[in-house]
Structure 1
Amino acid sequence: MFDEDCSSLSAETHGYIQYGLQWQTQGYTERKIRYANEPVIYYQFATDGSGRAIRVVPDGCVDLLFRCDPSRPSALACGTVLKGTEISLEPNAVYFGVRLSYGLSLLLPGLPPKEIVDVQAPFEDALSQYADMAAKLAGRASFPQRIALFERDGLRLVTGDVRAAGIVGYCLATMHRTGGSVTVRELAADTGYSERYLRTKFEHSLGFPPKLYNRIVRFQQALEGVVRGVAPLSDVAAGGGYFDQAHFMKDFKSFSLMTPSQIRSMITAPRT
């Protein structure tokens, strides 16, 4: 039976990769910091003047994205997308982002992840107690200074006892630990709850079923293999838990808007 007091919610995970933010922007930099073993990715980039859309992919996380313009600061709370999507950002702007782990995403005060699935919500509406955060961050001159300010004034957003995420958090941890290969039936046997109950809890907390979350975990694991490795794509597919190449290609293109080969070509192409 599942026990909240002894559940392990370590956020060891494959991915949280957003290649569009890294490769379709200028001066991208990031830093991963762990808070009680939960990874938080701080990142910063600038957009060019073209106004072109930027690709985002499913990762199961919530991003807090701040435009650092002292004259027009703004912020968005961005839920996970469920398929490859293109978003528009302000041209000629500097952005500072905070990508929360899946565990911390479940603990955002007053903002269930299900309310912002496929949505970029105004930060001041979603998290009104931090409405002045964008202006404060815009007033800092450097990436390290912005991280330090966020840690000081937004500490509650990047820390917390993820055991409070309950049964859904426990299941997500298991999904990440198994690379998305655990079935709902196995989760039910592990926790002592019925499959129907687990699906209901996922819909209530995340807004989508556990089977889709498993697919997102597998995709992010495969994306990491495509982006960071030189292994043949057949090996990447097998390592990501895909039973055949056709299944791998279909899922990958749906989630990324590109084929694995196109992404590998993108890695070596000159940045524009």
Structure 2
Amino acid sequence: MLDAPAPSPLVAWAWSRLRATHGSVRIEELVSETGFSHRHLVARFRDEIGVTHKTLARVLRFERSVDLVRRAQTSFAEAALAAGYYDQAHFNREIRALTGCAPGVLFGN
């Protein structure tokens, strides 16, 4: 295991909030709850985690939707809405953006 410094309380709290909501908390809400500026939160996440809080939220939301489709056998549309996407088209675009492949390829359809 690598010896890495512990995250700051700000990043630890925001990470926890993002995980608890599977990335579906609105970024504006997250920033408002911290009491810090958006720019400050972005900088802290980049320095301590390597990606912004928005990128992390996208990945968490994507992970949840994939889990819903694979485990619960829900439709793409149902998984998209449950994971916080606007609609199935938004979900499909995220799949392509994050994996480089179409939903049917990712899920073996």
Alignment of 1:172-251 (within 5 A): 172-251=15-94
Query: Does the CA contact (< 8 Å) of 1:179 and 1:240 recur in 2?
Result: yes
User: Which residues of structure 2 form unaligned runs of 5+?
Assistant: none
Structure with more of its chain in strand, by fraction = 1
- 1:193 partner SS: coil
Q: CA RMSD in A?
A: 2.0
Shift of 1:196: 1.5
Provide TM-score, normalisation by structure 2: 0.84
Shift of 1:255: 1.6
Matched, 1:109 2:17: no
**Amino acid of the residue matched to residue 3 of structure 2?**
P
- Counterparts of 2:90 and 2:39 in 1: how far apart (Å)? 26
Displaced runs of 4+ in structure 1, greater than 6 A?
none
- 1:248 partner SS: helix
User: Which residues of structure 1 form unaligned runs of 5+?
Assistant: 1-63, 65-107, 113-163, 267-272
- Counterparts of 2:51 and 2:85 in 1: how far apart (Å)? 21
- Counterparts of 2:107 and 2:24 in 1: how far apart (Å)? 25
Provide TM-score, normalisation by structure 1: 0.37
Structure (1 or 2) with the larger CA radius of gyration: 1
Alignment of 1:73-84 (within 5 A): none
Matched, 1:256 2:92: no
Aligned residue pair count: 108
